[in-house]
A and B are shown apart, each in its own frame.
Chain A
């Protein structure tokens, strides 16, 4: 009788551990998703596009490579779109801007400088 109780207790403990593990996986997955590289990339591309759109001719702005959104490896502007490579994740679609001015990006050591002319 005692052995049977012990066995049931053992099973319950194992099940509790398994449920705990699943919860831990879910929590980790959610945290990972919130800090995912594609989200950081989306934030950076949209922020840069909005800055370009609202900039007047002659303005420059800088993007630090060691950014709060991760390591920015490249910033490119082509075909009216901004492409940002963050922590090894290349941008496929980019984000469009509509500024009527010409936009250039240059690598300047620890930062990228975006010039609106």
Chain B
């Protein structure tokens, strides 16, 4: 009778071990699928993009507006030979010395601006738990704003002015 009881206990122990192994494997499997690293380089890309556009428009600190056709104002990335347009938005504002805007150039997905503003205002994460914020943060585009003074060449006249470049990079998935 005692032997039978010992056997029963042994079977229960094996059953428990099996159950624990199954649960451990399920947890491990689900964990390895859902827990994936995302290395975010979009801010770095936005910085490089802004620098590239700046170098393209004012290579020696001189922005020659006469060399850019007005129809190219809305295709500034293509003008600078930059591909991957669906991930980027670049906006360029050119001001004269009295801070008056004299030209505006842009190209790309302007929806990224709206998403960025949503994150800046905090509306995109209001009332969300930290885990959920982490989940949606991957949709927050990379951003870089770049201001510098330039000489502007327009209608053959050279004047002093400023250039503001805004670069946004969306996720790649």
Contacts and interface: CB of A to CB of B under 8 A. Distances in A.
Contact of A96 (B16, B38, B87): B87
B80 to A, nearest CB: 7
B81 A100 contact: yes
Contacts of A39: 37, 39
Nearest to A53: B48
Contacts of B44: 50
B123 interface: no
B170 to A, nearest CB: 11
Interface in A1-50: 14, 18, 21-22, 25-26, 29, 33, 36, 38-39, 42-43, 46, 49-50
B32 A42 contact: no
Given A22-B20, A50-B48, A54-B48, A98 B88 contact: yes
Nearest to A36: B37
Contacts, number: 62
A22 B26 CA distance: 12
Contacts of A29: 28, 31-32
B84 interface: yes
B35 interface: yes
A95 interface: yes
B109 interface: no
B24 interface: yes
Nearest to B55: A56
Interface in A39-93: 39, 42-43, 46, 49-50, 53-54, 80, 93
A95 B38 CA distance: 12
Contact of B37 (A21, A22, A42, A97): A42
Contact of A50 (B41, B83, B172): B41
Given A42-B37, A98-B88, A25 B28 contact: yes
A26 B31 CA distance: 9
Contacts of A42: 37-39
Contacts of A14: 13
Contacts of B35: 33
Contacts of A26: 27-28
Interface in B23-50: 24, 27-28, 31-32, 35-39, 41, 44-45, 48-49
Given A22-B24, A29-B28, A50-B41, 6 more contacts: A22-B20, A50-B45, A50-B48, A96-B172, A98-B84, A100-B81
